[in-house]
Chain A
Amino acid sequence: MSNKKELIVSAIKDGTVIDHIPAKDLFKVIKILDFEHMPNQVTFGGNLESKSMGKKAIIKVADKFFADSEINKIALIAPTANLNIIRNYEVIDKKPVQLPDSVVGLCKCINPKCITNSEPMQTKFEVVKDDSVSLRCHYCGKITDSEHFTLL
């Protein structure tokens, strides 16, 4: 299984492998991490077989070690994702992504009467961790649930 995967997505010497991304959310994760503006070598794999998830996606980023605040934003979209930290072709650390306590400038507030939907300003939410993840707007107080997350 692992060999077969290597053929699809090549190994990296140093960097981060983001594994177990729900297949349907690959492009949202790409957007959140803003790979468009990252100079690093990035390899994506979509719709890969996964024993635990059916279909998954994987992202390999060479020579990149994300700060927690940077990578944990993807937990809102892809809570199952985990990180493999690679040094010299070896996995030296494995960790799941962690939900952040707050998010700034990532999602839209669901409330059409919220100031954030009228002013050129950053949104800001407190992350509410109940049965499912939702976002409480710092400004209007309204809850945006995970089904209504709209990335900015």
Chain B
Amino acid sequence: MENNSLISITDFSTDEILRVLEIAADFEKKPEPHLLDGKVVSTLFFEPSTRTRLSFESAVNRMGGRVIGFSDPNISSVSKGETLKDTIRIVSNYCDLIVMRHPLEGSSRYASEVATVPVVNAGDGAHQHPTQTLLDMYSIKKTQGRLDNINIFMVGDLKYGRTVHSLVQAMAPFNPVFHFVSHQKLRMPNEYKQYLDSKGVKYYEHEQFADLIPEADVIYMTRVQKERFTDQVEYEKTKDFYVLKNSMLANAKPSMKILHPLPRINEISQDVDSNPHAYYFEQAMNGVYARQAVISYVLGLKK
């Protein structure tokens, strides 16, 4: 890792992931409102993502830090053609940590190489979004009481969904069983299946999942975007296979929880929200603890 940055979930060893999840649990139990006293964190959002930015800014504020930054590149020097390197070098002088989101893949890694302060990747295009993975793992651990031996159903767009790719990699050491539920055009890419094969992790692929729900410990729903289909008839025919409805949950395990990286469109029916299996709003709350943990860990304030 360059200067303790967190760019990809694979920058952390399994032990480090476990440690960060413990730190997150500590923050949930015992807030530390003065941990970042006198510290400044920059949130540089080269593309807008209001939820992610607010989650990071909430994390910093809850620890007593200050936030500077921008949420819209059109009003910053970026629109005047300044290179990313120059922006990062200059902002490095103003803060103790940079949180950045950028539409180009690999931008955060490059930023971490030119920055003089740690960089936390808040999403670089379709590439990586490691704090999302950590909050997903935190949610699994908190609701299931463990990370080991979990039956995880991933539903929807498994081809383009970066959150499911990272989660698959990060959960692999914990002996999970994966069920990949998607239209055949949106299947989990081969590189991730080969990765699981190489680690001896079991996975199954399905085109529908209504009958399989009683097996699940976790159902991780993702959004299926219409634009992914060249054939709109095909989309209309199959889209309902990947929608979770309250009536499907009657025989679920009592401890089963439904996760979703949000925002959702219609892949989880509104009537699921009040079902005790629904966990996606609490999951978003866990994002603040996970980000508090990451920020304090990369700053060396928690070890």
Contacts and interface: CB of A to CB of B under 8 A. Distances in A.
Interface of A: 111, 113-116, 118-121, 137-142
Residue from A111, A119, A139 with most neighbouring chain B CB atoms (10 Å): A139
Given A119-B84, A119-B85, A113 B109 contact: no
A interface majority secondary structure: loop
Nearest to A141: B127
Contacts of B107: 115, 139
A115 B110 contact: yes
A139 B104 CA distance: 10
Contacts of B104: 113-115, 118
Contacts of A138: 106, 109
Contacts of B83: 119-120
Contacts of B103: 113
A140 B105 contact: yes
Interface in B70-123: 83-85, 102-107, 109-110
A60 to B, nearest CB: 39
Nearest to A118: B104
Contacts of B110: 115-116, 119, 121, 139
* Contact size range, B: 10 to 19
B125 interface: yes
A66 to B, nearest CB: 28
Nearest to A121: B110
A114 B84 CA distance: 13
Contacts of A118: 84, 104
Nearest to B110: A115
Contacts of A115: 84, 102, 104-107, 109-110, 124
A115 B103 CA distance: 9
Given A121-B110, A140-B125, 16 more contacts: A111-B105, A113-B103, A113-B126, A115-B84, A115-B105, A115-B106, A115-B124, A119-B110, A120-B83, A137-B106, A139-B109, A140-B106, A140-B127, A141-B105, A141-B106, A142-B105
